[in-house]
Amino acid sequence: MKHGFSVEARDFDLAKTLDSGQVFHWETHGEGFVGAIGDCALHVQQDGDELLVHGGFAQLVRHYFALDHSLGEICAAFPDDPALQDATNFCRGLRIIRQPIWECLAAFITSSMKQVAHIRQMSRALRERFGESKRVHGITVFTFPSAAPLAATNEKELRECALGYRAKNLLLTAQRVASGEADLESWRALPDDELRARLCAFPGVGAKVANCVMLFAYERLRAFPIDVWIERVLREKYFPRKRKVTAA
DNA sequence: CTCCAGGTTCCGG
DNA sequence: CCGGAACATGGA
């Protein structure tokens, strides 16, 4: 427990944020969580208005969890809508984090037609098989594999991580990223529409996954991923007569 | 044993 | 453009 860093974290709920389905590779450990941000493995634990971070990287943690966002201002800007009021109360402290692009893209490619518990299982299998082993706080953590080691495998090996038909999509995407043909970092400079079009050009990436990557990795806070649950709510609360609910 | 899960893609009308 | 169906896997 010693040698940890403390990071101020007001208006933040670590457990709620990591359990919200925007990221899939953190695991509970004791009172906190272990995981990795890119290559940096760490243990994080919340204690009131602060985070105890083991493994260093305090500034990285602050950036990753978007602790610089003013959650109060963001919530105050919401329209006066009963459903949104309920939502803000229910989700208080849940932040949209800043994920490394590749691991976000890869994770959501595996997410189609899968329950969150399954997505987490696939993430773990990929990490244990292709990620790097690190030690932090006395435990072993596997980082999420970069594109290169995934590009160097084959569909069969990825299927052994329970990816099913998603294996081919992840493999082809990893190859395009690892080869440099698709430079995810440079795409930060693109406007929303162009970025979305490039993301949708990857196999297995459609409107929903592209919007997840834009929102969770590219900081495009206007992106609005519509999954089956959001669609049900939109239909029930706002558009009872529409046959199809889309972002536009 | 069936059903369906935080979608995408392809195909026919 | 729009509705349907296939796609793998595993837990309920």
Tens of pLDDT, residues A178-219? 999 999 999 999 999 999 999 999 999 999 999 999 999 999
Distance A17 CA to B5 C1' (A): 22
Mean pLDDT of A17-32: 96
What is the value of pTM for the model shown?
A: 0.97
Strand B contact at CB of residue A225, distance < 7 A: yes
Tell whether the model's pLDDT for residue A1 goes beyond 90: no
Interatomic CA distance for residues A170 and A108, integer angstroms: 10
On the question of pLDDT at A238 being above 60, the answer is yes
Partners of residue A54 on adjacent β-strands: A43
Spatial distance between the Cα atoms of A218 and A121, rounded to a whole number of angstroms: 25
Nearest nucleotide over every DNA/RNA strand to the A200 CA, judged by C1': B8
- Chain B positions with an atom below 7 A of a protein C-beta are 5-9
Q: What is the mean pLDDT of chain A?
A: 95
Q: How far is the CA of A24 from the C1' of B5 (A)?
A: 16
Q: How do residues A52-106 score in pLDDT, each as one tens digit?
A: 999 878 999 999 999 999 998 998 999 999 999 999 999 999 999 999 999 999 9
Judge if the beta carbon of A114 is closer than 7 A to nucleic acid strand B: yes
Cα separation, A20 vs A32, in Å, equals: 16
State the pLDDT at residue A47.
98
* CA–CA dist A233, A223 (Å, integer): 17
